[in-house]
């Protein structure tokens, strides 16, 4: 069995997760950041695209940071930081071999879409912020099929934001 995967995102009320290519997502709240830290520390590993990694600027401590790039040779991997050109399925198999039972898919939209298209997402954790952005990048780009979800939790995070947790229905 591959690791259980949680796709974790924060969006505006109109589904935007980044206003620009290098948006640092400073429009989220400290409570949401805390949740992200808790969930990723619990999994022990997060998987992200190279652009998202560059907006963070450094590996997040205490977790394995897997960064997808088509040019892994241009970066230096270390114990906590792995640059890889493996497919989503192969990344999860490598994590399984290393003993991980859960993994957080941390974005951005291109990575979310690739894992969804490969049917490798089990759960979606989405924080919705009380914001409407005039422009930006939608949470998903280039999805190849419709996906149905089952809502398993809805909870307030801090004063204003709402956390929605869904399971991805298997057809």
CA gap 84, 69 in Å, rounded: 6
**Pick from 77, 78, 80, 85: which binds ligand NAP (CB under 6 A)?**
85
CA distance 30 to 105: 20
Q: Min. distance of Cβ 117 from ligand NAP in angstroms? A: 10
**Residue number with CB closer to ligand NAP (5 or 52):** 52
Asked whether position 52 contacts ligand NAP by CB under 6 A, the answer is: yes
Residue 41 or residue 140: which is nearer to ligand NAP going by CB?
Answer: 140
Tokens of 163: 């956390």
76 CB neighbour count, 10 Å cutoff: 8
In whole angstroms, give the CA distance from residue 81 to residue 67.
7
Residue position matching structure tokens 């229905």: 169
Over the window 14 to 33, marking each residue x when it contacts ligand NAP by CB under 6 A and - when it does not, the resulting string is: ---xx--xxx-x--------
Question: Please, what is the minimum distance in Å from the beta carbon of residue 75 to ligand NAP?
Answer: 8
Residues 107-126, interacting with ligand NAP (CB under 6 A): 107-111, 114
Q: Count helices and strands (H / E) in the chain.
A: 4, 10
Please report whether residue 129 would count as binding ligand NAP according to CB under 6 A.
Answer: no
Asked if 82 and 69 touch (Cβ cutoff 8 Å), the reply is: no
Please report, as ranges, the residues that interact with ligand NAP according to CB under 6 A: 9-10, 17-18, 21-23, 25, 48-52, 55, 68-71, 85, 106-111, 114
């Amino acid at each position: 069995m591959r690791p259980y995967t949680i796709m974790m995102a924060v969006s505006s009320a109109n589904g935007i997760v980044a206003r620009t290519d290098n948006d640092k997502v400073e429009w989220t709240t400290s409570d949401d950041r805390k949740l992200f830290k808790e969930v990723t520390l619990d999994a022990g590993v997060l998987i992200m695209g190279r652009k998202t990694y560059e907006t963070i600027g450094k590996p997040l401590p205490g977790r394995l940071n897997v960064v997808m790039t088509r040019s892994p040779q241009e970066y230096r991997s270390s114990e906590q930081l792995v640059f890889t050109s493996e497919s989503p399925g192969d990344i999860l198999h490598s994590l399984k071999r290393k003993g991980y039972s859960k993994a957080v898919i941390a974005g951005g939209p291109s990575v979310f879409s690739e894992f969804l298209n490969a049917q490798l997402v089990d759960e979606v954790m989405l924080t919705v912020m009380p914001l409407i952005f005039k422009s930006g990048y939608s949470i998903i780009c280039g999805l190849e099929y419709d996906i149905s979800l089952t809502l398993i939790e809805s909870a307030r995070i801090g004063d204003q934001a709402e956390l929605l947790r869904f399971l991805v229905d298997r057809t």
